Amino acid sequence: MSSHGANSDFINNVGQLSKILKSAAMDNNTVIITSLNEAWAEPQSMFDCLLESFRIGNQTERFLKHLVVVAVDQKAYDRCLKLHPHCYHLVTDGSDFSEEAYFMTPDYLKLVWRKIDFLGKVLNLGYNFVFTVRTHASITVLYPPFLLFHICCHFSLNIVISLSTKERNLVIMDCGGC
């Protein structure tokens, strides 16, 4: 048991996960991981925007084949399989994550810990990953994600926020750090 009360050997199908990671991995065993639930998997939703952003971004289409989508409910998994080759269904007994889990509620915390355990399993299987921190694939990829990483670091955060209005243009870049 891990410290947060979940079974640390929770991965429902390690063989399937290993196969997906191997198929999606870059030469250096790196994958890009995002999560998805039913609400974000609907046609013309954020999932479609994410996939499209890889296709139209500046030199980003090549990274689409390295994207692993972790679906947290059955409908998201089914939709993912229709659109993308690397989909993994992260099953959580007793929880339905098809709806939004509000910040700091028991379901939210359970989902956060499941994702942390999942990412730990990915590391234990020998893979590196870039995880889209924004929840449920609500991020666009318009430039190669590896340009801002520090090669000497084991852990790096890269944040780019852009807001534009008629009155002001604001760009905040945090190029990470170790």
Q: Looking at residue 161, what is its pLDDT?
A: 46
Which whole number is the average pLDDT over 37-63?
86
Record the pTM: 0.74
DSSP 30-79: EEEEEEE-HHHHSTTSHHHHHHHHHHHSTT-GGGGGGEEEEESSHHHHHH
With a cut of 70, say whether residue 35 has pLDDT above it.
yes
Q: How confident is the model at residue 86 (pLDDT cuts 50, 70, 90)?
A: very high
The mean pLDDT of 29-34, rounded to a whole number, is 91
Q: Kindly report, residue by residue over 135-161, the tens digit of the pLDDT.
A: 444 455 555 555 555 555 555 554 444
Banded pLDDT at 58 (limits 50, 70, 90): confident
Q: In the predicted model, what is the mean pLDDT of residues 79-107? A: 80
Q: Which residues contact 76 (CB under 8 A, 6 or more apart)?
A: 36, 37, 38, 40, 41, 98
176 pLDDT exceeds 50? Answer: no
Q: How many residues does the chain have?
A: 178
> Is residue 134 pLDDT above 50, yes or no?
no
Which of these ranges, 14-18, 19-23, 114-118, 163-167, has the smallest mean pLDDT?
A: 163-167
Ranges of each domain in the chain: 14-145, 148-178
Mean pLDDT of the chain: 74
Give the residue-averaged pLDDT of 8-17.
Answer: 69
